[in-house]
Every structure is written in C-alpha cells, then in structure tokens.
C-alpha cells in the first residue's frame, strides 16, 4: 500500500514537472541579480495585487512582500515539488497566497502587477489571455524575452544583464 502511494506520488511529481516544461517552462528560478534589479525599479504600490504566473518555490513573491509588506502576493504553480515548497513558505506569510493550478486558467482581472518568467513558446496563448483580462493600468513584468512586435513601456537593464521588459495592460491591446 505504502509502496503504491510513494510510486503514485513520484509519478505525479515527474508528470507535473514534464507538463510544466511542455506547457510554458520548466522550473528555473530567477536569479537574485534580476529580482533585485526589477524590484528596485518597478512601480509597485502598497495594496497592489501582484501575481507570479508559474511561481516556482515562491521566491519572487517573498521578495515582493519583503519590500512591499502590504501588497497581496499570489502565485500559481503546476509542478508539485515547487508548489509544495511555495505553499509551505506561504504558511507564515499572511499576504502570500499560493494556488495549485494552470496559469492559463488563472483569472487576472484583479491583478495590478503580473510577473512572468516563461519560455517564448507560451507567449501567443499568454498574450491572448493578458489582452482579455488585464486592466489598462496593470503592469506586466516580463523577464528574459520581450513580446515580439510590441513596444515595451519601459526596459530595465544593466550592463551585464538581459533586459527586463515592462508593459502596461493598454500597451498589449
């Protein structure tokens, strides 16, 4: 019995990690350098609702809460191990919420800031979703690759870093 449960859990861990890699990106955490760079420069207001779509172990959300303790930080994750780690880390942080689920099925109508670090292959589906759900004033923080053919509102870059592209909801229309 215990062997079956362990095998089923291992199967679920592998299957959900594979699903994440196929769907939008495998778990590769944002580097500290990048988190510091964009958190120091993006306009987040106290009271904002901030999403990390594909939140991994929740590190971006925790950094956001350390700098802006009165924001509501919401993470969505589909891969079981990173999800469990993020969920555990959220237990002692009342303003951090971690949901198990598919980021493409997460409604973003209440989002003020959305952080995304995913592979470009996810962008066409993602753009369609963001266009339909983001408020004109919402801020999208895109790490690594920009949206092709859409002028970013702002680019954050230092000499030795890749650019972080910022878009407002209205820029995506």
Ligand X SMILES: C[S@@+](CC[C@H](N)C(=O)[O-])C[C@H]1O[C@@H](n2cnc3c(N)ncnc32)[C@H](O)[C@@H]1O
Site residues, ligand X (CB under 6 A): 20, 23-25, 27-30, 52, 54-56, 59-60, 76-79, 82, 102-104, 117-118
Cβ-based nearer residue to ligand X, 100 or 153: 100
Taking the complex as a whole, the smallest distance from the CB of residue 75 to ligand X amounts, in Å, to: 8
Cβ-based nearer residue to ligand X, 27 or 147: 27
Cβ-based nearer residue to ligand X, 43 or 101: 101
Give the Cα separation of 104 and 41 in Å (integer).
27
Cβ-based nearer residue to ligand X, 85 or 150: 85
102's tokens: 């598919």
63's tokens: 């950094």
Taking the complex as a whole, the smallest distance from the CB of residue 171 to ligand X amounts, in Å, to: 21
- Cα dist. 130→12, 63, 111 in Å? 29, 24, 10
| Residue, CB closest to ligand X | 54
Taking the complex as a whole, the smallest distance from the CB of residue 3 to ligand X amounts, in Å, to: 27
CA-based diameter of the chain, in Å?
56
115's tokens: 């952080």
Positive or negative: CA dihedral 40, 43, 49, 54: negative
């Amino acid at each position: 019995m215990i062997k079956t449960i362990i095998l089923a859990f291992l199967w679920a861990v592998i299957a959900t990690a594979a699903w994440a890699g196929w769907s939008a990106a495998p778990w590769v955490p944002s580097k500290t350098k990048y988190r510091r760079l964009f958190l120091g420069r993006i306009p987040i207001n106290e009271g904002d609702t901030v999403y990390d779509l594909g939140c991994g172990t929740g590190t971006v959300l925790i950094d956001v809460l350390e700098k802006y303790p009165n924001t509501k930080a919401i993470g969505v994750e589909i891969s079981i191990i990173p999800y469990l780690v993020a969920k555990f880390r959220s237990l002692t942080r009342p303003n951090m919420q971690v949901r198990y689920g598919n980021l493409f099925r997460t409604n973003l109508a209440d989002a003020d800031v959305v952080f995304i670090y995913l592979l470009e292959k996810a962008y066409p589906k993602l753009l369609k979703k963001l266009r339909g759900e983001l408020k004109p004033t919402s801020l999208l923080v895109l790490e690594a690759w920009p949206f092709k053919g859409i002028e970013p509102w702002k680019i954050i870059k230092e000499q030795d870093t890749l650019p972080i592209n910022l878009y407002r909801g209205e820029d995506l229309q």
